[in-house]
Amino acid sequence: MKIKNKLKNISKSWYFLIIIILIYLSFFIFKENIFYSSLSFAFNIFLKILPVFILIFILMALTNYFITPDFVIKHFKKRGIKKWFFAIIGGVLSTGPIYMWYPLLSDLKDKGLNHGLIACFLYNRAIKIPLLPVAFLYFGWKYVLILSFVMIIVSFIQGILINKLMEVKK
């Protein structure tokens, strides 16, 4: 009974991690080379995102300190088109993997940020300024600039679409 209660207290997200670890363990038993390659790959990603993780912590702390629900309502709900520009610029300038930003966006959502703006922000994370030179190298500057421009416009459309779809009752 005690174990059952303890299991109930464990967050679902830990179960997700446990399942992934079990998958890794099965690779360790049956395909050791894949286990080590994947682990090394994961370690490299972790090293790469660690500084971003610190930056996100600082941003979250600053956001928690300065951005109150009233602030969000004032800047994101009353400024018409400006809030969309904020989401677009924020998305383009943000760094690190997408999932690193979920906690911060969740916090902002609780403070009143609408789903469309979150979707718009996440869509624009696809445009990474530091990686543009690499994209130019592979596809040429003209193609990359057109693609980036189209994606920015579509991010706005997706945001509006998400707002409409979220309003539809389940």
Binding site for other proteins (CB under 8 A): 11-14, 16-17, 19-21, 23-24, 27, 34, 37-39, 41-42, 45-46, 49, 53, 56-57, 60-65, 97-100, 102-103, 105-107, 109, 115, 118-119, 122-123, 125-126, 128, 131, 134-135, 137-139, 142-143, 146-147, 150-151, 154, 157-158, 161-162, 165-166, 170
Taking the C-alpha atoms of residue 2 and residue 56, their distance in angstroms, rounded to an integer, is 37
In this complex, which beta carbon is closest to other proteins, that of residue 85 or of residue 102?
102
Nearest distance from residue 15's CB to other proteins, in Å? 8
CB of 29 to other proteins, least distance (A): 15
Instruction: Please identify, using beta-carbon distances, which residue of 89 and 140 lies nearer to other proteins.
Output: 140
Residue 88's Cα: distance from chain center in Å?
Answer: 14
Whole-angstrom Cα distance, residue 96 to residue 134?
Answer: 17
Measured from the CB of residue 53, what is the shortest distance to other proteins in angstroms?
A: 8
Please identify, using beta-carbon distances, which residue of 1 and 59 lies nearer to other proteins.
Answer: 59
What is the separation, in whole angstroms, between the first and last Cα of the chain?
A: 36
Phi, psi of 92 (to 5 degrees): -65, -40
Give the span between the Cα atoms of 132 and 141, in whole angstroms.
9
Tokens of 149: 């421009």
| Both structure tokens of 111 | 């403070």
